[in-house]
């Protein structure tokens, strides 16, 4: 067959398997997979810990929405990067810039809050009451989301597997932090930056490390 | 190149709506491009066929990742390149390949064929004894005369002719064997 190329039988078999693809099918599949996994994590959080008891008091505060905005922007950056890196020729420069920007702004807010408080309060501002559990729980809750994200990416056509894995990890970390924030009542900027940030960074690195192993096609 | 891109892209967009005619045409044209692409980069004919087929399967299974507002050639080239690198990695055969290329490489006219031929020749030449190789190079590649080479090497003109004749026969046999493989 060396001079003929793929047999016409082979091409016939591909043609006969042709089904229409709706526009945006790739994005829909990614979002569906993420949605299912987030639902699982959310159910676990609500079942184990419920919504934070002071939610009514927290809703109108700037601190609450800053925290939510931080993790939502990181999750959106991750999802945007997944959309791009699911395509073989995709690069994710804009989403990466967005994620670094969000982290930089959060770092700035954290430093500003520390600077406006006396040093004897710094420890409390950074550690809160739950620093020992917060990052671990975010990472734990992120694991099912990471699994879903990597598996759905594997069905797409990522060619930069490490970067695509990092995108999946960032998405999982961001979404998990969003879910966890429903029941976490920590609201100082240094706490959010350090512990939420660390957990999301760890998931990003884990995703990057797993990328090549899991997504090769 | 521009025309090829436009043509393939519109075939792909029609294929995504389920147009079998367009899809068949697309697969035929793409498989010809892929075979050229891989042939320019790999010596083994079997690998060229395998990779072409694998890339067509990837195009088929992962076609939902093609978004119509993006260039089709870049999309296809990225898949072809991924499959090529994956193959080279798995074979642990990192030849000195030029992989930092643009998507247009897929549509490029086969300029590397001559270079490849040259590479094949060098490889074949390397397989024969040094003396025969030096004579072949002097007479058949550099175009020097038998008398000249005879004077330079100290061999008689007829000895030079006989050695070159033997070397060419040996090269012919090797070439035939490689083609079969």
- Going from N- to C-terminal start, the domains of chain B cover 2-106, 112-180
Tens digits of per-residue pLDDT, B32-78? 999 999 999 998 888 899 999 999 999 999 999 999 999 999 999 99
Mean of all residue pLDDT scores within chain A: 94
Residue B127 has a pLDDT of 76
Instruction: Tell me how far apart the alpha carbons of residues A2 and B35 are, in angstroms, rounded to a whole number.
Output: 10
Nearest CB to A89 within list B32, B64, B75: B75
* Average of per-residue pLDDT across A61-85: 96
- Closest CA in chain A for residue B77: A89
Task: Give B27 to chain A, closest Cα distance, Å.
Answer: 7
Residue B168 has a pLDDT of 79
ipTM: 0.88
B44 contacts on A by Cβ (under 8 Å):
none
What is the CB neighbour count within 10 angstroms for residue B132? 17
- DSSP state at residue B139: I
- Closest CA in chain B for residue A19: B18
Q: Determine the topology of domain B112-180 in CATH.
A: Arc Repressor Mutant, subunit A (1.10.10)
Question: Does residue A29 sit in helix, strand or coil?
Answer: helix
Q: Is residue B97 pLDDT above 60, yes or no?
A: no
CB contact under 8 A, A11 and B65: no
Indicate the pLDDT class of residue A5, thresholds 50, 70 and 90.
low
What whole-number percentage of chain A has pLDDT above 90?
Answer: 84
Q: What is the DSSP string of B13-59?
A: HHHHTT-HHHHHHHHHHHHHHHHHHHHTT-S-HHHHHHHHHHHHHHH
Which of A13-27, B60-74, B116-130 is predicted with the least confidence, judged by mean pLDDT? B116-130
Distances (CA, A) of A52 to A56, A122, B115: 9, 24, 69
Between B61 and B181, name the one with better pLDDT: B61
Q: What is the DSSP string of A75-131?
A: HHHHHHHHHHHTSTT---HHHHHHHHHHHHHHHHHHHHHHHTS-GGGHHHHHHTTTT
The CATH code for residues B2-106 is: 1.10.1740.10
pTM above 0.80, yes or no: no
Q: Is residue A1 pLDDT above 50, yes or no?
A: no
- Closest CA in chain B for residue A10: B53
């Amino acid at each position: 067959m060396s001079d003929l190329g793929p047999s016409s039988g082979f091409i016939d078999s591909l043609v006969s398997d042709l089904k229409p693809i709706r526009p945006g099918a790739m994005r829909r599949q990614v979002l569906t997979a993420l949605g299912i996994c987030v639902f699982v994590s959310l159910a676990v959080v609500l079942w184990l810990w419920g919504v934070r008891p002071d939610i009514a008091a927290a809703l109108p505060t700037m601190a609450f929405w800053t925290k939510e905005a931080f993790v939502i922007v990181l999750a959106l950056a991750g999802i945007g990067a997944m959309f791009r890196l699911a395509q073989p020729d995709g690069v994710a420069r804009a989403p990466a810039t967005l994620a670094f920007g969000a982290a930089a702004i959060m770092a700035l807010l954290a430093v500003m809050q520390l600077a406006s408080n006396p040093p004897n309060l710094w420890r409390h501002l950074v550690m809160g009451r739950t620093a020992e559990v917060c990052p671990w729980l975010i990472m734990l809750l992120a694991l099912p989301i990471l699994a879903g994200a990597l598996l759905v990416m594997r069905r797409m056509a990522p060619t930069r597997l490490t970067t695509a894995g990092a995108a999946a990890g960032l998405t999982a970390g961001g979404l998990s932090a969003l879910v966890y924030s429903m029941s976490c009542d920590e609201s100082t900027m240094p706490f959010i930056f350090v512990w939420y940030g660390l957990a999301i960074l760890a998931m990003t690195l884990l995703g990057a490390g797993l990328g090549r192993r899991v997504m090769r096609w | 190149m521009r025309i090829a891109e436009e043509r393939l892209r519109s075939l792909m967009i029609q294929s995504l709506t389920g147009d079998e005619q367009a899809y068949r045409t697309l697969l035929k044209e793409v498989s010809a491009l892929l075979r050229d692409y891989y042939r320019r980069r790999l010596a083994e004919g079997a690998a060229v066929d395998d990779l072409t087929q694998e890339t067509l399967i990837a195009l088929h299974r992962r076609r939902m990742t093609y978004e119509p507002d993006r260039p089709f050639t870049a999309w296809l080239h990225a898949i072809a390149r991924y499959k090529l690198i994956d193959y080279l990695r798995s074979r642990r055969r990192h030849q000195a390949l030029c992989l930092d290329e643009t998507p247009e490489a897929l549509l490029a006219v086969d300029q590397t064929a001559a270079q490849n031929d040259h590479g094949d020749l060098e490889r074949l030449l390397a397989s024969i004894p040094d003396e025969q190789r030096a004579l072949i190079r002097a007479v058949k590649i550099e175009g020097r005369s038998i008398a000249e080479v005879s004077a330079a090497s100290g061999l008689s003109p007829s000895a030079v002719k006989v050695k070159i004749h033997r070397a060419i026969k040996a090269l012919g046999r090797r070439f035939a064997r490689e083609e079969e493989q």
